[in-house]
Amino acid sequence: MITEQKHISVSLEDIRNAQKRISGKVIRTPLLRFYYDEFPGEIYLKPENLQPIGSFKLRGAGNAMEAADGSLLKEGVYTASAGNMAQGVAWNARMLNIPCTVIVPDHAPQTKLDAITRLGAKFIKIPFDEWWQVIMTREFPGINGLFIHPVADSNVIAGNGTIGLEIVEDLPELDAVIVPYGGGGLISGIASAIKSVQPHVKIYASEVETAAPLAPSLEAGMPVKVEYTPSFVDGMGSSNILPEMWPLVSRLVDKSIVLSLEKIAEAIKLLMERNRIIAEGAGGSSLAAALTGKAGTGKIVCVISGGNIDAEKLIKILSGTIC
């Protein structure tokens, strides 16, 4: 049985309630200035890689599980994730002392798989196309428990939206925010929060050229399917837009900036060199987008969504041998 949420909406009140639920359970990450003389504006970083699991996913997973009826958690939880939501759900499941299973795509990096195991959860690896179907149908045969959708869940989105509240509190005069685009849950939450209190702020998505369905979809005014090619940017991107996310994303996102693998690798290296921030591919994409100038030259916040990157990949990026 498919249980898609056809109409997802998140209010400012939902996000403020999420902020109360997860207060003390997540880090209130700072805004850090990124100094780059060649850029005429001001760039700030929101380093969600500093969360205990290395990504923003702790927020959405925590809010969804805290908001759930306790009876639904008795048999445990499961999710479908390339690694970061997996860790968010596993972390919270461990805190609640309930079992957790994660369905992962076959290209999930070893560092994320090791983290899933370290947090006490089990994972099942399947081909990417089959994994995407789990996200679409919210089902996987043989697993009981509450399915925590990594993207299209109002409580997950509200939890993600707490990032937006913090950004506005710390930099009320901001002009634009750039958010990595995977399935739309992060950018929708952040945009819902920011546009509720600062409607003039521009919201830009950052996508990798090997898996960028949002840019052509926004241009066409309807979801467009693209070719998906796996790369070191494993934490975001797909071949299409989740149908239930399109109404929300298309209303909230002003534009998507598509980046080459080379530009994202350069941004990851810059983050390490300038701010000593370790970012994975998705996390580095927002800075890469800012440096193109396509988001303007005002006060721009780049959400560094996560830092869970294999050491071997990071070494190659820093040495200039991966793209």
In a domain, 97, yes or no: yes
| Burial letters 160-171, b for 16+ CB under 10 A, else e | bbbbbbbbbeeb
Instruction: Please give the distance of CA 199 from its chain centroid, rounded to a whole number.
Output: 22
| H or E element, residue 286 | helix 281-291
In a domain, 1, yes or no: no
Do residues 55 and 26 lie in contact, with contact meaning Cβ atoms separated by under 8 Å?
no
* Residue 90 DSSP SS3: helix
Using one digit for the tens of pLDDT, what is the confidence trace for 239-250?
889 889 999 999
* Same-domain status, 185 and 301: yes
Q: Is the pLDDT of residue 179 over 60?
A: yes
Q: Is the pLDDT of residue 300 over 90?
A: yes
* Same-domain status, 173 and 195: yes
pTM of the model as a whole: 0.93
* Same-domain status, 206 and 191: yes
* Same-domain status, 65 and 50: no
**DSSP secondary structure string for all residues of 24-80:** TTB--PPPEEE--TT-SSEEEEEEGGGSTTSBTHHHHHHHHHHHS-GGGGTT-EEEE
Q: Give the end-to-end CA distance of the chain in Å, rounded to a whole number.
A: 41
What's the pLDDT at 136? 84
In a domain, 256, yes or no: yes
What's the pLDDT at 4? 45
* Same-domain status, 312 and 190: yes
In a domain, 7, yes or no: no
Q: pLDDT-based confidence at 129, cuts 50/70/90?
A: confident
In a domain, 238, yes or no: yes
What's the pLDDT at 6? 56
Using one digit for the tens of pLDDT, what is the confidence trace for 189-201?
999 999 999 999 9
**How many structural domains does the chain have?**
2
Using one digit for the tens of pLDDT, what is the confidence trace for 56-71?
999 999 999 999 988 8
* Same-domain status, 126 and 26: no
* Same-domain status, 216 and 291: yes
In a domain, 3, yes or no: no
* Same-domain status, 114 and 188: no
What's the pLDDT at 224? 95
Which of 125, 147, 169 delimits the end of a domain?
147
Q: Is the pLDDT of residue 2 over 60?
A: no
User: CATH number for the domain including 47?
Assistant: 3.40.50.1100
How far apart (Å, rounded) are the C-alpha atoms in residues 157 and 136?
17
Q: Pick 33 or 132 by higher pLDDT.
A: 33
Q: pLDDT-based confidence at 163, cuts 50/70/90?
A: very high
* Same-domain status, 135 and 167: no
User: In Å, what is the CA distance from 175 to each residue of 73, 141, 289, 291?
Assistant: 41, 46, 15, 15
Which of 147, 163, 185 delimits the end of a domain?
147
Q: Is the pLDDT of residue 82 over 90?
A: no
* Same-domain status, 46 and 71: no
Q: Summarize the confidence of residues 100-110 as an average pLDDT.
A: 88
| H or E element, residue 169 | helix 154-170
Q: Summarize the confidence of residues 275-283 as an average pLDDT.
A: 96
Which of 147, 175, 190 delimits the end of a domain?
147
* Same-domain status, 301 and 215: yes
In a domain, 5, yes or no: no
- Hey, which residues are catalytic here? 57, 319
What's the pLDDT at 135? 86
What's the pLDDT at 239? 86
* Same-domain status, 303 and 168: yes
Q: Is the pLDDT of residue 3 over 50?
A: no
Using one digit for the tens of pLDDT, what is the confidence trace for 14-54?
999 999 999 999 999 999 999 999 899 999 999 999 999 99
Question: For the chain, what percent of residues have pLDDT higher than 90?
Answer: 77
Q: Summarize the confidence of residues 201-212 as an average pLDDT.
A: 96
Q: What is the mean pLDDT of the chain?
A: 93
Q: pLDDT-based confidence at 238, cuts 50/70/90?
A: confident
What's the pLDDT at 323? 61
Q: Summarize the confidence of residues 167-187 as an average pLDDT.
A: 96
In a domain, 278, yes or no: yes
User: Whole domain around residue 37: which residue ranges?
Assistant: 12-55+154-318
